[in-house]
Amino acid sequence: MLKQQHDLSQANTMALACMADTVVTLTDEAQLDDFMAYYRDNDEQAPLFVLSGGSNVLLPATLQATVLQPHMRGIHLLEHTDDYVDIEVMAGENWHELVLYTISQGWYGLENLALIPGLTGAAPVQNIGAYGVQLDDCLQYVRAYHLPSNTWHQLTASDCQFGYRDSMFKRAPNTWLISRVGLRLHKDATRILASYGDVQSVAQRYAEQDGRQQPMPADVMQAIIDIRQQKLPDPKQLPNCGSFFQNPIINQSQFTALQVSFPNIVGYPMPDSMVKVAAGWLIEQAGLKGGGIAPIMTHTQQALVLTNHAPFMATQEDVAAAQDYIANCVYEKFAITIMREPVWVQADATIGLGNHAI
Ligand SMILES: Cc1cc2nc3c(=O)[nH]c(=O)nc-3n(C[C@H](O)[C@H](O)[C@H](O)COP(=O)(O)OP(=O)(O)OC[C@H]3O[C@@H](n4cnc5c(N)ncnc54)[C@H](O)[C@@H]3O)c2cc1C
């Protein structure tokens, strides 16, 4: 379905005002072939941009592009053994609903990734991860359309070049449209990963309530849902796009020097004598928990999350003003530059850099 001058303010979880020139909603792969043939034959010049659940993007007030929305649905069982199942999930499936469905079937591996917003086709883009698990722990392949050459490809996990919140899709924006994701999930209900924070104790409580001694994947999933609901604002109630700032990585000597003035500074050792510093802590210590530039304010319980208090009216410029203000305050106090995490989409659909607001 093709719409002209389409309002996308309800199609991004930050609820930023956005009017797109053209939006094409795809409910099967053949529609993409047809649309791209039309696009090519008419020598269309409008840039292409792929938008799924809109939970990791900051959209411009005017998007002079053709927005492709992959909404193909379906979960297909490919192989079923005593130990594992292979499933193929279409890009338009809601990620959290997929997690709930797989656990209800006794197919495990996605439980730690519960409640991450967005659609399945976007999950490989930043190799979504939470509570010690990343998508590439179970991803087998991706079927994707290469937009510049109009060709379909089946890409292995190694072709996707996954890294921490990274993939080749992220490094080459507006180049691929992912239409299917192949996953291998296991069937061993005793295999869980619950070592992060309070997950083990909350999962244990769920197990005991059910008369079991050991937590199962469903208990871990429920624990993670509870913890996330307490920590993160629900975008439907308070628009946001999750963690707004990346945790900066600084060298050990800078960290040691900062420890003199700030003995409680939170850092995690990284390879090559580097230290990853908790951006949320830096923002909080700069006195900005709940602060910002209205209507874009940090969340009162989680300073890393920027929230929009003027849904469907605030624009990318408002986000830029708040981002610059927060980043400057943090820099003045700690001499550390904090960078943006979500994808900054410019009016011509190119992607902005993380440290410059506009
Ligand atoms: C409250 C909250 C909590 C979050 N928690 C986490 C978390 O714990 N871990 C985590 O990793 N992320 C987290 N996120 C970020 C976000 O949910 C994920 O990045 C998610 O995968 C984005 O999916 P989406 O469908 O909303 O993608 P969109 O925001 O629509 O798109 C994101 C990017 O992917 C590209 N893209 C989208 N779909 C496709 C496709 N089919 N093919 C090719 N490119 C595509 C877009 O062009 C864009 O560059 C959180 C976000 C919020 C709002």
Sorted by where each starts, the structural domains of the chain and their CATH numbers stand as 2-70 (3.30.43.10), 75-231 (3.30.465.10), 240-344 (3.90.78.10)
Indicate which residue's Cα is closest to atom 20 of ligand 1: 118
With 0-12 / 13-18 / 19 or more C-beta atoms within 10 angstroms meaning exposed / middle / buried, residue 199 is buried
Helix (H) or strand (E) segment spanning residue 316: helix 316-334
| CB atoms closer than 10 angstroms to residue 320 | 19
Does the Cβ of 55 fall within 6 Å of ligand 1? yes
What is the model's pLDDT at position 352? 86
> Helix, strand, coil % (nearest 5) of the chain?
25, 30, 45
pLDDT band, residue 197 (cuts 50/70/90): confident
Could you tell me what percent of the chain has a pLDDT over 90?
Answer: 92
Is the distance from the beta carbon of residue 244 to the nearest atom of ligand 1 less than 6 Å? no
Query: CB–CB of 125/167 below 8 Å?
Result: yes
Mutate-to-test residue for ligand 1 from 13, 48, 116, 230, highest number of ligand atoms within 8 A of CB: 116
Tens of pLDDT, residues 91-117: 999 999 999 999 999 999 999 999 999
CA of 55 to the centre of ligand 1 (A): 5
* Residue 356 confidence (pLDDT) above 70: no
Confidence grade of residue 1 (pLDDT, cut at 50, 70, 90): confident
Output the pLDDT for position 114: 98
Tokens 């050459």 appear where?
A: 149
**CB 240 less than 6 A from any atom of ligand 1:** yes
Picking from 327, 345, 344, the residue whose alpha carbon sits closest to that of residue 336 is 327
Instruction: Indicate the SS3 state at residue 123.
Output: coil
- Taking only the tens place, the pLDDT of each residue in 140-184 is 999 999 999 999 999 999 999 999 889 999 999 999 999 999 999
Backbone angles phi, psi at 308, to 5 degrees: -105, 115
Q: Which two tokens stand for residue 46?
A: 């409008």
Ligand 1 centroid from CA 221, angstroms = 20
* The pLDDT of residue 71: 98
Cα 266 to averaged position of ligand 1 atoms, centre (Å): 27
Please indicate whether residue 180 is annotated as part of the active site. Answer: no
Contact 46, 5 (CB under 8 A): no
Residue 358 has pLDDT above 50, yes or no: no
Q: For residue 204, how far is its CA from the centre of ligand 1 (angstroms)?
A: 30
Question: Tokens 């943090």 appear where?
Answer: 330
The side-by-side arrangement of strands in the sheet containing 249-251 is 249-251, 274-277, 267-270
| Centroid of chain to Cα 274 | 25
d(CA 273, CA 251): 6
Q: What is the rounded average pLDDT for all residues in the chain?
A: 95
- State which ligand 1 atom lies nearest to the alpha carbon of 234: 1
Is there a catalytic annotation at residue 165?
yes
> 């050991």: which residue's tokens?
214
Q: What is the pLDDT of residue 327?
A: 97
Whether residue 177 has its Cβ less than 6 Å from ligand 1: yes
How would residue 13 be classed by pLDDT, with cut points 50, 70 and 90? very high
- Position in ligand 1 atom list of the atom nearest CA 174: 47
Dump pLDDT digits (tens) for 258-316: 999 999 998 988 889 999 999 999 999 999 999 999 999 999 999 999 999 999 999 99
Exactly one of 44, 73, 88, 165 is catalytic; name it. Answer: 165
pLDDT tier at 354, thresholds 50, 70, 90: low
For residue 110, give every residue at least 6 positions away whose Cβ sits within 8 Å of its Cβ, in sequence order, or none: 98, 99, 102, 103, 133, 138, 183, 185
pLDDT tens, 45-54? 899 999 999 9
Distance between Cα 57 and ligand 1 center (Å): 7
CA distance 291 to 284: 9
Q: Which of 345, 347, 310, 342 is nearest to 323 (CA)?
A: 342
Q: How confident is the model at residue 355 (pLDDT cuts 50, 70, 90)?
A: low
